[in-house]
Amino acid sequence: MIGLLLAGLVACGSTGSDPAAADVQRLLDRRAQAVLYGNGSAYVTTWAPSGERAAARTEFERLRALPLESWSYRVTGFHRSGDRATAEADLSYRIAGYDKAPLVAARTLSLRRAEGHWYVAADRPAKDASEQLWEQGAVQVARGEHSLILGVGQSTKALRGYAELADRAVPAVREAWGEEWSGRVVVLVPESLEEMAQLLGAPASGYRGIAAVTTGETGGAAKAPADRIVVNPDAYAVLGGFGRQVVLTHETTHVATRAQTSAATPLWLSEGYADWVGYRGTGRGPAQVAPELRDAVREGRAPGGLPADKDFEFGGEAGGLAEAYEAGWMACRLIAERWGEVRLGEFYRAVGAHGSREGAVEDAMRDVLETTPEKFTEQWRAYLGSQLG
d(CA 139, CA 61): 9
pLDDT digits (tens, 9 = 90+) for 232-261: 999 999 999 999 999 999 999 999 999 999
Cβ–Cβ < 8 Å for 251, 212: yes
Q: Are 150 and 139 in contact (CB under 8 A)?
A: yes
Among 177, 178, 204, CA closest to 190: 204
Would you state the pLDDT for residue 279? 98
At residue 217, the pLDDT reads 66
Q: Which CATH class is domain 138-253?
A: alpha beta
User: How many angstroms separate the CA atoms of 320 and 253, rounded?
Assistant: 23
**What one-character DSSP code corresponds to residue 47?**
B
Mean of all residue pLDDT scores within the chain: 92
pLDDT value for 297? 96
Is-contact 187 166, C-beta < 8 A?
Answer: yes
Please list, in sequence order, all residues whose beta carbon lies within 8 angstroms of the beta carbon of residue 300, skipping any fewer than 6 positions away: none
For residues 253, 305, 308, 169, the Cα torsion angle rounded to the nearest 10 degrees is -10
Find the helix or strand (DSSP H, E) in which 322 lies.
Answer: helix 318-338
Domain boundaries, the chain: 7-129, 138-253, 262-389
User: Residues 217, 279, 162, CA angle at the centre, nearest 5°?
Assistant: 65
Q: How many residues does the chain have?
A: 389
Residues 162-172 have pLDDT tens digits of 999 999 999 99
Residue 80 burial class via C-beta count within 10 angstroms: exposed 0-12, middle 13-18, buried 19 and up = middle
Report whether 43 contacts 34 (CB < 8 A).
Answer: yes
Gap between the Cα atoms of 20 and 22, Å rounded: 5
- Contact (Cβ atoms closer than 8 angstroms) between residue 120 and residue 114: no
pLDDT tens column, 74-132: 999 999 999 999 999 999 999 999 988 889 999 999 999 999 999 999 999 999 999 99
Question: Which residues lie below 8 Å from residue 80, measured CB to CB, with a gap of 6+?
Answer: 18, 20
pLDDT tens for the chain, 389 residues long, are 333 333 333 333 334 568 999 999 999 999 999 999 999 999 999 999 876 788 899 999 999 999 999 999 999 999 999 999 999 999 999 999 998 888 999 999 999 999 999 999 999 999 999 999 999 999 999 999 999 999 999 999 999 999 999 999 999 999 999 999 999 999 999 999 999 999 999 999 889 989 999 997 665 554 555 689 999 999 999 999 999 999 999 999 999 999 999 999 999 999 999 999 999 999 999 999 999 999 999 999 999 999 999 999 876 666 789 999 999 999 999 999 999 999 999 999 999 999 899 999 999 999 999 999 999 999 999 999 999 98
Strands (E) across 28-143 are located at: 68-81, 84-95, 103-114, 117-125, 139-143
Q: Can you give the C-alpha Rg of the chain in angstroms?
A: 24
Report d(CA 215, CA 199) in Å as an integer: 10
Residues 6+ apart with CB under 8 A from 135: 59, 125
Q: How would CATH label the architecture of 7-129?
A: Roll (3.10)
Give per-residue burial for 37-61: e unless 16+ CB within 10 Å, then b.
eeebeebbbbbbeeebbeebeebbe
- Contacts of 34-41 with C-beta under 8 Å, sequence gap 24+, read 34/60, 35/2, 35/60, 35/63, 35/68, 35/71, 36/2, 36/3, 36/4, 36/5, 36/6, 36/9, 36/68, 36/70, 36/71, 37/2, 37/4, 38/2, 38/64, 40/64
